[in-house]
């Protein structure tokens, strides 16, 4: 059998296993709460496993090496520390959410109850755009890995992976996601630590180091300006992503109250080793001056294919595909949850029955999959660049979430206009005076070089929003009673309407 045939066979085998588990577990789905938050009774082991499985993404396996290839030692450290900080920082937020919004299902519930209609609508638009972008990165990663390792067409990898994931997520929702996440996490953690040792034994660590020192000595320097900028900014992007991402909010609501902080802490500490393990593969490519036909995003699979041979490629595919499937399933469930819970059940049909809401969620999952395939088809940019672009939106919502959860007097109008201005300003800085639209740019103005840059966009977005929210809150405070969130339930809301 050819390598391409082995790749397809492995994906079909793993995919069939995930679908079987998903269908079996879907029998436990009784209502929308089961579909979105898994019954609200998840413990430490399964909780930390599903957080890890969600957070170990295709980006972790592919963009972490790309960051190491681009920024050297500081790139790997920044990617690993930034993502770990985000998960650990979410622990106190998750505990607070359980206290102030015990009946919540999604991040949209928080924005609807804590702020006003205009903030709720703006947030839903931004969140859905961000989630579609995040789904796009996973679809692209699927195509890149299969193309690099098994020489399968990029589009075949995208369609095959998304189709398999949709098959089990559509049926069982969060219950199916939880059931497959634990096995996927074990597979990820088992395989991910095998490859650095395998590759470095084949390439020779001394030869790799000497090659980097001779060919790209700046990649070894801890004082490199570009690497330091990445190290400082990537935690901001990741923390904003976690605080805005509905997959994290769903996992906060599904955990038992007494184990929330412990679960997120364990997941955050466990996650840090994965990008370190995969990110160092990039140093082999730098030290050996390896040609990368697929670009920087393909550095990890191409290094594995070169040094680990056919068996290594098959194992690496199992790793990346498990990571992609776990993250994509969580994202599809999270976005469908936003549509069914926050768009359909609040705007389109407030009096919808639980069965009608569930049907809309399943239809939405299929539609989102088709949109993701269409968006990934032209392969618009590298994974790391897309991650940083989405970080402009993440950074804008970090302050409104944190202040909104802990402080009573945040001004909703100040939040709305600060986010609008902050996102526009951040995107302009990211695009060097142009608005990036994924496949093209819209020129707007000329910015000086010192005020332009992909990484700087998230910083500008965060600063503008933070200043705007803090100033408007100090000048025009708007008191809020958190008891309205504590006592809120969907049944009471239905009685009022």
Question: What's the chain's Rg over C-alpha atoms?
Answer: 22
Higher per-residue confidence, 316 vs 459: 459
pLDDT level of residue 382 (50, 70, 90 thresholds): low
pLDDT score, position 497: 41
Higher per-residue confidence, 169 vs 128: 128
pTM to 2 decimal places: 0.79
Higher per-residue confidence, 457 vs 14: 457
First to last CA, the chain: 62
What is the full DSSP assignment across 122-165? HHHHHHHHHHHHHHHHHHHHHHHHHHHHH---HHHHHHHHHHHH
Give me the helices (H) in 245-298, please. 246-254, 260-271, 273-279, 281-287
Q: Quick check: 161 pLDDT over 80?
A: yes
pLDDT score, position 492: 46
Tokens 């902050």 belong to: 422
Q: Quick check: 3 pLDDT over 70?
A: no
pLDDT score, position 496: 41
Which CATH code of 3.20.110.10, 1.20.1730.10, 1.10.10.10, 3.60.15.10 fits the domain covering 3-380? 1.20.1730.10
pLDDT level of residue 383 (50, 70, 90 thresholds): low
Residues in the chain: 497
- Count Cα neighbours of 167 within 13 Å in the Cβ-side half-sphere: 18
d(CA 60, CA 55): 8
Q: Quick check: 431 pLDDT over 70?
A: yes
Q: Quick check: 454 pLDDT over 90?
A: no
Q: Quick check: 480 pLDDT over 60?
A: yes
Between the alpha carbon of residue 25 and those of residues 35, 169, 279, the distances in Å are 11, 11, 35
Give me the helices (H) in 38-193, please. 44-55, 58-71, 73-100, 107-114, 117-150, 154-192
Tokens at residue 51, please? 């957080």
pLDDT score, position 16: 83
Q: Which of 128-137, 159-168, 430-439 has the lowest mean pLDDT?
A: 430-439
Collect all residues with Cβ–Cβ distance below 8 Å to 256 and sequence separation of at least 6. Answer: 40, 41, 42, 43
- Region 62-90: mean pLDDT is 89
Q: Quick check: 278 pLDDT over 50?
A: yes
């Amino acid at each position: 059998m050819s390598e391409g045939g082995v790749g397809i066979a492995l994906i079909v085998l793993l995919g069939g296993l995930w679908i079987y588990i998903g269908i079996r577990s879907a029998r436990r789905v009784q209502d929308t709460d089961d579909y979105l938050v898994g019954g609200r009774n998840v413990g430490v082991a399964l909780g930390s496993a599903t957080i890890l499985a969600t957070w170990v993404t295709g980006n972790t396996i592919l963009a972490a090496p790309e960051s190491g290839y681009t920024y050297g030692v500081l790139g790997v450290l920044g990617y690993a520390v930034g993502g770990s900080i985000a998960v650990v920082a979410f622990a106190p937020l998750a505990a607070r959410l359980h206290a102030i919004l015990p009946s919540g299902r999604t991040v949209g519930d928080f924005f609807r109850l804590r702020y006003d209609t205009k903030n709720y609508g703006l947030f839903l638009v931004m969140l859905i755009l961000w989630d579609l972008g995040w789904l796009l990165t996973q679809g692209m990663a699927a195509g890149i890995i299969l193309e690099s390792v098994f020489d399968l067409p990029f589009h075949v990898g995208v369609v095959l992976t998304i189709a398999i994931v949709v098959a089990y997520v559509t049926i069982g929702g969060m219950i199916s996601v939880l059931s497959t996440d634990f096995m996927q996490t074990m597979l990820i953690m088992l395989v991910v630590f095998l490859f650095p040792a395998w590759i470095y034994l084949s390439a020779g660590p001394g030869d790799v180091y000497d090659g980097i020192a001779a060919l790209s000595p700046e990649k070894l320097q801890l004082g490199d300006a570009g690497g330091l900028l990445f190290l400082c900014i990537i935690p901001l992007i990741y923390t904003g992503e976690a605080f805005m991402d509905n997959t994290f909010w769903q996992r906060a609501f599904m955990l038992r109250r007494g184990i929330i902080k412990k679960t997120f802490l364990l997941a955050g500490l466990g996650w840090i080793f994965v990008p370190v393990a995969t990110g160092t593969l990039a140093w082999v490519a730098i030290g050996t001056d390896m040609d990368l036909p697929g670009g920087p995003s393909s550095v990890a699979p191409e290094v594995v294919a070169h040094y680990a041979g056919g068996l290594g490629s098959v194992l690496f595919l199992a790793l990346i595909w498990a990571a992609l499937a776990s993250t994509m399933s969580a994202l599809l469930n999270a976005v469908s949850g936003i549509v069914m819970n926050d768009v359909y059940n609040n705007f389109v049909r407030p009096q919808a029955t639980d069965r009608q809401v569930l049907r809309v969620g399943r239809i939405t999952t299929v539609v989102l999959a088709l949109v993701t395939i269409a968006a990934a088809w032209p392969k618009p940019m590298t994974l790391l660049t897309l991650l940083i672009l989405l970080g402009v939106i993440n950074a804008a919502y970090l302050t409104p979430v944190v202040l909104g959860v802990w402080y009573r007097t945040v001004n909703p109008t100040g939040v709305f206009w600060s986010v609008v201005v902050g996102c526009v300003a951040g995107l302009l800085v990211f695009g060097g005076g142009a608005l990036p639209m994924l496949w093209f740019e819209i020129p707007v103005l000329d910015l000086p070089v010192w005020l332009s840059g992909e990484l700087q966009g998230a910083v500008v977005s965060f600063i503008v929003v933070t200043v705007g929210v803090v100033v408007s809150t100090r000048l025009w405070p708007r008191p809020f009673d958190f008891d309205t969130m504590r006592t809120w339930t969907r049944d009471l809301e239905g009685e009022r309407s």
